[in-house]
Amino acid sequence: MSICPRSGSTGKAVGRVTLESLLRPEFRDEIGTGPWYYCPDPECDVVYFDPGGRTWEKEALSVRVGIKEKTPPRPVCYCFDFTAEEIEAEVAETGRSTIPDTIKERCKQGLDDCEHTNPKGRCCLGDVRAVMRAAQAQSSEAPAEEEGDGDDCCAPASCDEPGASAKRPTGRLATVGAVVTAALSSACCWLPLLLLTFGVSTAGLSAFFERYRPLFLSLSAILLATGFFLVYGRRSTCSDTQACSTRDAKSNRRSKILLWVATAFVLALALFPRYVDLLMKRAG
Q: Residue 74 has what pLDDT?
A: 97
d(CA 98, CA 81): 14
The segment with the largest mean pLDDT, out of 22-26, 112-116, 134-138, 163-167, is 22-26
pTM here is 0.56
Q: Under DSSP, is residue 268 helix (H, G, I), strand (E, B) or coil?
A: helix
Q: Which amino acid is at 45?
A: D
Structure confidence at residue 26 as a pLDDT band (50, 70, 90)? very high
Q: Which residue has the higher pLDDT, 148 or 97?
A: 97
**What are 50-65's pLDDT values in tens digits?**
999 999 999 999 999 9
Please list the helix, strand and coil fractions of the chain in percent, rounded to the nearest 5, in that order. 55, 10, 35
Q: Residue 178 has what pLDDT?
A: 67
Q: Residue 202 has what pLDDT?
A: 55
Contact 77, 99 (CB under 8 A): yes
Q: Under DSSP, is residue 57 helix (H, G, I), strand (E, B) or coil?
A: strand
User: What is the dotted CATH code of the domain comprising 12-162?
Assistant: 2.20.25.270
Q: Under DSSP, is residue 227 helix (H, G, I), strand (E, B) or coil?
A: helix
Q: Which amino acid is at 139?
A: S
What residues does each domain of the chain span? 12-162, 168-283
Burial degree of 107 (CB within 10 A; 0-12, 13-18, 19+):
buried
**What are 133-179's pLDDT values in tens digits?**
999 998 765 455 444 444 556 544 344 444 444 444 456 676 676 66
